[in-house]
Chain A
Amino acid sequence: AQSVAQPEDQVNVAEGNPLTVKCTYSVSGNPYLFWYVQYPNRGLQFLLKYITGDNLVKGSYGFEAEFNKSQTSFHLKKPSALVSDSALYFCAVRQGLPSNTGKLIFGQGTTLQVKP
């Protein structure tokens, strides 16, 4: 079975400071990992994904994430936080090939609060 853990319900950072939102996963075989953001009363927005290749993945809005296989982690980072980054962030995992289920399983979400 696949699962995702986001150990922090909320992360608070000051504007301009670096931010990290943590994610660990459990899946058989190679994982495909994703980060999504959800603003209040709006749908999910895709930020970035790791399928294969370079462990450091760059995505939308200046976000990046580092895949660490030994620690089964995929933490989301940004060098300088903006107040507008305040939102709910979800990490998700899909079981990689040869699995063909296509199921995307989400973590419980982390609320990011960036203060001016």
Chain B
Amino acid sequence: SAVISQKPSRDICQRGTSLTIQCQVDSQVTMMFWYRQQPGQSLTLIATANQGSEATYESGFVIDKFPISRPNLTFSTLTVSNMSPEDSSIYLCSVEISVYGYTFGSGTRLTVV
């Protein structure tokens, strides 16, 4: 199964700034997924990132706020832009591995002050 290294594990940021989260996978994968988990809530899919094409965003999420890069088959970044306290959440990346299983990163706990 794939192993994901997600960085940073946590951060405290000032409102109005941006944070870039990185996910490195130890094998090549076609699709990577980015999720947000707001405090006490479920995981909400932000976007699907395919290598070589623009990310596909879910309803309620836009590229200007959450730009995503996918430069190769093992790496992706999610940027949370112009942050406000409402962006305080856990952000997770995920990949689909063989036999319809999924691996998740350990998450980035973001606090915006």
Indicate, yes or no, whether A interacts with B: yes
Contact with B along A44-88 (1 / 0, CB 8 A): 101001010000000000000000000000000000000000000
B42:A107 contact, CB within 8 angstroms: yes
Q: Contact check, A109 vs B41: say whether CB atoms are below 8 A apart.
A: yes
Partner pick for B96 among A43, A44, A102, A108, CB 8 A cutoff: A102
A84 to B103, CA, bound (A): 23
A94 and B42 within 8 A (CB): no
Cβ–Cβ contact A43 & B104, under 8 A: yes
- A106's partner among B30, B31, B42, B107 (CB-CB below 8 A) is B42
Give the shortest distance, in Å, between B73 (CB) and chain A (any CB). 14
Contacts of A94 in B (CB 8 A): 100
Question: Contacts A34-B102, A90-B43, A94-B100 given: A43-B48 contact, CB under 8 Å?
Answer: no
Binary B-proximity of A12-42 (CB < 8 A = 1, otherwise 0): 0000000000000000000010100000000
Contact pick for A43, options B45, B101, B107, CB 8 Å: B107
Contact residues on B (Cβ < 8 Å of other chain), bracket: 20 to 34
Chain A, interface size category, equals: 10 to 19
Q: Which residues of the other chain, A, contact B100 by a CB distance below 8 angstroms?
A: 32, 49, 51, 94
Q: When each residue 31-70 of chain B gets 1 if its CB lies under 8 Å from chain A and 0 otherwise, what string results? A: 1010100000111110010000000000000000000000
Pick from B31, B45, B92, B101: contact of A105, CB under 8 Å: B45
CB neighbours (8 Å) of A101 from chain B are 48
Question: A-facing mask of B91-109, CB < 8 A → 1, else 0?
Answer: 0101010011110111100
Besides A104-B102, A108-B42, 20 other A-B contacts (C-beta < 8 A): A43-B104, A43-B106, A44-B92, A44-B104, A49-B100, A51-B99, A51-B100, A90-B42, A90-B43, A94-B100, A101-B48, A102-B30, A102-B33, A103-B45, A103-B48, A104-B33, A104-B45, A104-B94, A105-B45, A109-B41
**Interchain residue pairs with CB less than 8 A apart (29):** A43-B104, A43-B107, A44-B43, A44-B92, A44-B104, A46-B102, A49-B101, A51-B99, A51-B100, A90-B42, A94-B100, A101-B48, A102-B30, A102-B31, A102-B33, A102-B96, A103-B45, A103-B48, A104-B33, A104-B45, A104-B96, A104-B102, A106-B42, A106-B43, A106-B44, A107-B42, A108-B41, A109-B41, A109-B42
